Structure 1
């Protein structure tokens, strides 16, 4: 990344929202990070500037061919006023994998992380400390070259915006009701399912809307070929506890390699709880429910950390999981990860990174 990081401070700071009533992704901090890319020059002109609308040419390629990727991570403030990030290097490594799939130039992960730390240090008064709150971090890259030819852009912007947030789902840790999606598919192997790109999410909204109209919070996605094998729940990875063993779909090219997913697997192995990554069909899950061995289910992701599943509806076969209550393992995983993230628990895995 060429040149030094420039900082332009906002003259009049925004009035901060009520941190006890944040919702998710509705408020944005005073500043943002921007880094430009131009073919032949590389990434350059890294700058922190006041948060404001941006101007793009109507022919900017992101509008026409969807060449864009993003990430999501969080910053937390500890009781002794330290600021912690949770495994940020994993997010920037995944951003580069998404870049590769969308033919976007690779970023220097360490330099971008240092620029992010500078932004968060400037905005640390925006980090809420109420239980369940955090500062959500959204890095994203868009293709900005004005051209209507179908090819990779020669110009890009990397931007990072920050948002103080509460719980992702209004239900919080209350188990959610999920509809097993049998009409639409999220992704297929060889597609972009393993990349964090906007199109994946745009194509999922229709199923989500229909699920909500039927009284469900989200959908459980099945594979795009046979529509039998479980992939993700909403925009989250998914886990099932069956007969004492924890199962999660294996990464197959259409499933996102979640940072929280990896953290959960690490914790389960550390605790001596059997955890298996493999193909899991909806029929096998229903059979486990019928024979009484289906114990818990939960989604995992940066935004919600753990989202317990209390009910699954598959072709009008309703599966009520753990009497619709959060499971003991789900609660322990949530408490452990959030405890490490906020500095309340020891971090034996060296997952947290302090922002000076």
Structure 2
């Protein structure tokens, strides 16, 4: 795109450039001047800087400046900038760090990528983290973040930590729970959960130790990020994956579900059969309250088909629970000393509590037997319609 085309697109799409800054007096001028080459639609959030940032910003009357009295973190600065951008009528915000690592001349990369999309998208700059000068801790942190983003959303990206991004302001969540560096993880994960496409675009990066001032605190911020990922993973396993499955199932007929999610789903027939077998085993085992967490975790660990494993684990739906309990107690009776006439009693929690060992033994035997039978049955069924090739 030519410069006039980029400028017209920025105006047409109602894009602003958002620059959060804190004590980056060495590079702030260069960043703002570079951005002004493309647009004056700039919002700078001065997050309680104590250097000459205020004096520098006063020399740019044509841009919007928000000055916060106290430094509360990058996440808080971005949220403040997003609110202001929406108040001013902008639909998109390109965020660029003020420490000089991002090149303003990559703004056209984001604009062109947005113009080529048919729907709103969240774009993240993909830096070359293998180039000379990139700190090893930054490369490791990026790989760490990429893995957990994939686990939490199913989306594989090469860079999830770059602060050079384009946000669709009207689509991203309105409320957030994190105020500092971990905010940039929270927002992309929760946006992906809202079915907003999240993609990488190639950008350049400059790490100049003579100029760059990083406010990332390795121990404190990495701990906060780890805690956030723990929470996001738990939400993914307990709520997001089951929600997505149910929503997907509702949109399809049973025949279409079998065709697309069973016959055409990822994995060989053996993997699909093993996924079902494991789901049945977890569903019938005495892991009440943890079945979804276990089945999804084990599916990821052993690279199984998560959808099939989750479906199979629902063999323990509430209407079936009394029959599962009765069968478990009946099967476990020969292995313990006790009342052999136990199934004539009322099936309730007290019955299980008073005969816990009998129930556990019986449920494990039942789960093992049914998982083997279901796995074999599914394998034979799949092989009939789509035989595996040697």
For Structure 1 versus Structure 2, the TM-score category normalised by the shorter chain is: under 0.3
Give the TM-score, by structure 1 length: 0.25
Structure number with higher strand proportion: 1
Higher helix share: 2
Structure number with the bigger relative contact order (C-alpha 8 A, sep ≥ 6) is: 1
Larger Rg: 2
**TM-score, scaled to structure 2:** 0.23
